[in-house]
Each structure stands twice: as C-alpha cells, then as structure tokens.
Structure 1
Amino acid sequence: MSSATNMSHSVQGGPRHVAVIMDGNGRWAQARGKPRLFGHHAGAKRVKEIVRACPDHGVDYLTIFAFSTENWKRTQTEVAGLMKLFRRYIQKEARDLLAEGVRVRFIGDRVRLDAKLVRLMDELELLTSRNTRVNLTIALNYGGRDEVARATQRLSREVAAGKIDPEQVDETTLARFLDTHVLPDPDLVIRTSGEARISNFLLWQSAYAEYEFLETLWPDFSAEEFGRVVAQYGGRVRRFGAVPA
C-alpha cells in the first residue's frame, strides 16, 4: 500500500505507522561488562514498553526490526541465544498481547527458522488476529532486498500462469506480493544507537518515510523519548517529490 500523494503538505497530527530499527543492544551490554545477549534481553523488555505507549500517541502500527537476513553472520552463540529469546518472548508475552489488544504479525522469510519458532509465530498471529488496538509487526529473518526478490518470484509465477498480464504490472501490482501488503507504508522510521543507515529495512515501503536517527541505545529508549520523537514528526513537511507552493 502506498501512502504517497502528488502534493506537498504539512504533517497532520502524528504518524500512523512507526517503524523502528532497534540498534545498540550489544554495545549497551558491553558497556556494562555483560555479554551481548544480556543487551538483547533488555531490548526485548523495551519493546513491551514502546508497544504500550503507541495508543497514547495515535500510533496504530508499529513495525520492529528484530533479526535481519544478514544477522546469521553473527556468532553461533549469539544467533542461538536470539532464537531462544524469540521463542521465549512469544510464549511469555502471548497472553498479555492478547489482553492488551495487540495484533501481531511477522514478516520475513520463515524457511530458515526452526520449526518450533515458526509454529509459535503462527499460533501468536492466529491468537491475536482479531485485536485492533495496536498492530505490531515483527521483522524476523527479514531483509528488504530479500523481500522484493521473494515478491518478484511470486509475481512471476502468477504471470507464468496467465493470471496477470505482464504489460499491466506496475508498482501497485508488485506491492500486493510484499510481506507488508496488508500494512500502510511507514510514516516515520526511527533508528537508535547513533548509526545513520537503513540496513536493508523496509526499502520499498519507506520510499517517502521521514527518518529519525538517535544517539540513544535501544535498551535506553524510553516511552518518553518515543513520545517526543513522535510529537516532533508533526512539524515536518512531507513533499513526496513535489515543489512546495
């Protein structure tokens, strides 16, 4: 889905969809003389706080970058620890997410994930499928380029089957095959930890998103700071390629 228009305009209110690159867990832990996984556990607790803050700021959709297609390059110990953390997070938080009206979706390629984790992901999506208060999307084994490649494969199969005329393929057509086809495009993308890059996250969807790069490490990113960043968004002008009047 595309949120871009042909006209420049000031932002009305806050962002409806906020996406977050949760960076800095490892450095946060190392600064305290702890292993990197200690930081990831602290970061998981921070997710819960930010999800709960979303309704107070008019944020209907929150998408978080939990594990990228490139993160498999990390040490076996860290990867195994992260997968265990994801399983435990789902098992521990499922009941609260349901009770608090949070609908959970996962995006990314599930083929490489272990069967137990995938089963838990499926179960959580089904369990929360009727919730509407907050839409939480977790990008797990996700990469923007990988997503577009997989979408292109699915589209190509439809073309080969004669279901889609190749001459009619446009941006809207391809967007229907993306992992995020049921979500609006993000209005605001936040990256913590002082890094100023997008790291292959929501490349297609963030074409006209506003970006905020923060020095704060993710485990220190509070609901109060989240609120300030969301409020600042209201002062921006989104032009979508147009020239302001």
Structure 2
Amino acid sequence: MFDFTHRHRSDWRWDPSVTNPDPLQARRYLDLGPIVPQALISGRAGTLIKENVDLYVRGAYSFDMVDEGEAKNTYSAPYLELGGALEVRLRRTIGLGLSGLTRQTQRTAKVSTEIPDIPNQIDPLPAQYSSDLGERGFTELGTTLRLSLGARRLSALVEVYGRRTRYALVYCDGATTPNCQNALDTGLMTQDLRGGGRVSIDAWIGSQLRLFASYELSSQLDFQPEISGFKSLRLTMEGIY
C-alpha cells in the first residue's frame, strides 16, 4: 500500500498530542519543533505467519514544501525513513509487539563551517533555524503490550519507546581540536538518548457507555535539561442513547 500526505503549516492533525496508532511511524511525543509544510510519500507491506504473527515493513521519503524564495530551515529538511514491526498474538487476547525505525535527514552542514567552542569565551551563534542545524538522523526501538477481551468490552495498550538521535556537527571543542575540521569526533556531545511511553484503556460499561483514558510522556532531554519532557492525559466518556 502507498500513501501520499501533504502537511500544511496550520494542520492541527500533526500536533504531538494527537495520537497515531500506526506502529511503523515515529512517535510524535518524542519530537519538538513547529509545524511546517511538508509532503510525505510512504509505502508499506505486511504478511501473516502461522496465523498469530504479523510482520510489517515500511519505507518513506519526505521532501520540504518551502515556498520559492523562502529560506530553508531546520524543521523542513527532507529525510528517508525505513522501519519494521512484528506482533505475536497469544490466545487472541494478548499481543506482544516489537518495532524498529531509522530516519536519515539531509543536512547542509559542512565540517568547514564548524564553530570552535572556546572555554570562558562567548562563542558565535549559527544562523537561527538554519538548515545546518538539527538532527542528522535517529534510530528508534519500541515494544507494545496489547490486551483485548473482545469488541465493546475491554482493551488496554502499553507502549514503551527509546530513541538515539545524532545531531549536526555545529560546534567543536576549540581547546582540543583548533582546526575544527573533524567529521567524526568534534570533542563535544553530538547525540543523545530519550524515551517515551503511553498507557491507554478503552472500556465499555454495558452497551451504551464507553470510557477511554490515555496517559503519555517522554523523558527529559539530555541537551535541554530545563525541558522536563512531554506529558499528556486524556479522559473521554461517550454515551449512546
């Protein structure tokens, strides 16, 4: 199956608090940054193994929709994405899933433009929101535990994810590498780890009342310790008459 998605600048569906049940897409609550125009082409395939094992693969390419004459920025960089997922169902009520995803982002940063970080001195700032800045790529692994007791009864889902992110080489340690021309080791941290998870419960009381609760969060960011992470709690009650 193939999909084409055009994301507008004002598209509310891309808010991180809006969940997406697709197990092959990156978790939005691990991301930060504004919504920018972007187009995404993706393809996926799946198969069933021995009636209780589902296997999925997915590939996607995103390209920016920046208007002509408008400067490219860090949030609109194109990227290539590959992922896969496996889910094993036990007695049709419990499902255990594993997923993996990697994304490689096209950055314009060069080692010749690295800025030396001199201790006890004010360092120059890179251009704000420049396409040189941001992540060069990340790898995300996750696991899910799903419980279903049947339609209009009780279902629960627990998700846990971790992500390792590599960032563009903007600064280097000027005290140890004065020439600042190293594409592999700048002497400074260029990658971090972050995690996230979600717990959701969907229950029916009788045949006319539905209760839904979901809580999700992400860990603190290594490079921005003042940001405690993303947290969200949603409670919904629906009645049918």
TM over 0.5: no
Q: Which has the higher contact order (CA 8 A, sep 6+)?
A: 1
- Taking structure 1 as the reference length, the TM-score comes to 0.23
- Taking structure 2 as the reference length, the TM-score comes to 0.23
* Bigger strand fraction: 2
Which structure has the bigger radius of gyration?
A: 2
* Bigger helix fraction: 1
